[in-house]
Amino acid sequence: MLTARKEGRDVVTASLDLGLTPSEVRLEPEGVLFPDGQHLAWPSIEDISQNEATCFVVEGSSAAKVQFFSSTLNRFYSLMPTERAPTMLVSGIPMHRIKGIDPHEDTLRKMRTIAPVTGRVLDTATGLGYTAIEAARTAAEVVTIELDPTVLEVARRNPWSRALFNHPKIQQVIGESFEEVARLADESFARIFHDPPTFRLAGELYSGAFYRQLFRVLQRGGRLFHYIGDLDSTSGRVVAKGAARRLQEAGFARVERRPEAFGLVAQK
């Protein structure tokens, strides 16, 4: 928009939903006019252009950063743009891989590790909902668990997360995964995606007790993907080694490293 203004144009095609669809925007002396009638002044457009690590939402002809503080967990969440689907920063740390890969491709790589994704699927950490949304394309049902409701407030403002709130196959659960999984029926899921926060933030989700619950709810022949992080990093090697041992102790067989997806795959 700023470039088109300098070139003297009065109309430009831009994406107003983080790259999903194109829209026609009118450039006026005071600012830009969006298709829905909202208007944003040029100083606001310039501010947005200088904040490359932050997504903004336009409401009431004003722009605000997509960011929230959770008093529940004492964490700060914000939506960060990438070349494709945005990621969420959790206290400044991106929850998806963004170096040499975008969050959408990151999600697809996780999916491919336990394909075909069929039957009932358990997603232990909703986040922006990318795993649940992608799984719902082929699964019979997806149950996704999120600890912090503030995370879902970020997702509601993310165009790439829309299906999380309106897809008929997705069932959302708010609560601690450790407690919620314990309430689920035996052998009720064909696939499990376990993508927890880091070991430092959620050590209980890497415990033998939790792995035993995941084993219990997984059907025979079912498969689990467990996101760890870079398996070739110092911390990744340590965490993966311990996780693989505890998964085997919980009853899982064929625990395999999947470095392309930064995780482990286990089978019941």
- What is the C-alpha to C-alpha distance for residues 80 and 88, in angstroms, rounded to an integer? 6
- What is the C-alpha to C-alpha distance for residues 144 and 165, in angstroms, rounded to an integer? 11
Spell out the domain ranges in the chain: 2-63, 101-267
- What is the C-alpha to C-alpha distance for residues 268 and 262, in angstroms, rounded to an integer? 21
Q: Are 68 and 150 in contact (CB under 8 A)?
A: yes
What is the DSSP secondary structure assignment for residue 260, as one 8-state letter? G
pLDDT in tens, the chain (268 residues): 999 999 999 999 999 999 999 999 999 999 999 999 999 999 999 999 999 899 999 999 999 999 999 998 899 999 999 989 999 999 888 989 898 899 999 999 999 999 999 999 999 999 999 999 999 999 999 999 999 999 999 999 999 999 999 999 999 999 999 999 999 999 999 999 999 988 877 789 999 999 999 999 999 999 999 999 999 999 999 999 999 999 999 999 999 999 999 999 999 9
CA atoms within 13 A on the CB side of 207: 11
Tell me which fold the domain 101-267 belongs to: Rossmann fold (3.40.50)
Distance set, CA 61 to CA 10, 14, 94 (Å):
19, 17, 29
- Token couple for 109: 């790589």
Quick one: pLDDT at residue 93?
87
pTM of the model: 0.93
Quick one: pLDDT at residue 262?
97
- What is the C-alpha to C-alpha distance for residues 185 and 256, in angstroms, rounded to an integer? 26
- Token couple for 79: 């939506």
Q: Are 134 and 107 in contact (CB under 8 A)?
A: yes
- What is the C-alpha to C-alpha distance for residues 247 and 235, in angstroms, rounded to an integer? 18
Q: Are 265 and 192 in contact (CB under 8 A)?
A: no
